Homo-oligomer: A and B are copies of this chain.
Amino acid sequence: MPGATVARLPLYLRALAALAEGGADTVSSDVLAAAAGVTSAQVRKDLSHLGTYGTRGVGYPVDHLTATISSELGLSERRAVVIVGVGNLGHALAGYGGFASRGFRIAGLVDDDPRREGEVVGGVVVRPLADLEELVAAQGVPGVTRVPAGPSGVIGVIATPAAAAQGVCDRLVAAGVTAILNFAPLVLAVPPDVDVRKVDLSVELQILSFHEQRKGARAGSVPAPAALS
């Protein structure tokens, strides 16, 4: 399954939820494409990778498609998420309703700062960093036989300052975490079997800034003279 397709499956899932809300029974690739912000050809190609069969002349069954994608994404059982770092960002993440509604559960909040210990955020108690390993070990992914020292199935979220991130990452990995979402602005070093995805807010702004600059240059300056040819 192409990585680009995997990245779009959550979008389809979200669009399908909205369509199901509206009482739709089936969806055509055209409608689904509009809701997800892609082209219809893209939708059909992506769904063909699922082995999913729509009905020609009709479309795809909303409920079955939803179930298939959920299953493919491993969302059938609520996956455990452990958030490290309960600062501004950690608070926002812990309080974000989208996690729970998308099939995840916050299984732990951990912070370095003793003053935060015991605080309750999003219904979960903040625990000291020392409890990290224990927290990860306590999570079993239901339906998956836990192999000792194998992947735990837990997703670790790093919301600490950059200086602390690699240390936290090492501990997560040692505890058996093989999926990490990193908000700290640095490149984490991890073993090859560990997946890291990164979200860097200032990088996003800088990309937007690039395009803005180009627009500004276009609008503010005299158009370039025609090339000699």
Contact = CB atoms under 8 A, between A and B. Distances in A.
Contacts of A207: 6-7, 10, 197
Contacts of A153: 212, 216
A28 to B, nearest CB: 17
Given A99-B202, A147-B219, 16 more contacts: A6-B210, A9-B206, A10-B202, A36-B187, A74-B214, A87-B92, A88-B92, A92-B92, A103-B209, A144-B216, A147-B220, A178-B212, A180-B208, A181-B204, A197-B207, A199-B199
A11 interface: yes
B195 A208 contact: yes
Given A150-B219, A181-B204, A203-B11, A210 B145 contact: no
A59 interface: no
Contacts of A205: 79, 81, 99, 102, 104, 155, 181
Contacts of A197: 204, 207-208
Given A10-B200, A181-B204, A202-B104, A145 B209 contact: no
A35 to B, nearest CB: 7
Nearest to A75: B209
A53 to B, nearest CB: 21
Given A207-B10, A210-B73, A220 B145 contact: yes
A208 B206 CA distance: 25
A45 B92 CA distance: 38
13 contacts: A37-B187, A73-B206, A74-B209, A87-B92, A88-B91, A89-B96, A96-B201, A98-B200, A104-B205, A144-B216, A178-B212, A181-B205, A197-B204
A216 B141 contact: yes
A193 interface: yes
A47 interface: no
Contacts of A150: 219
A73 B213 contact: yes
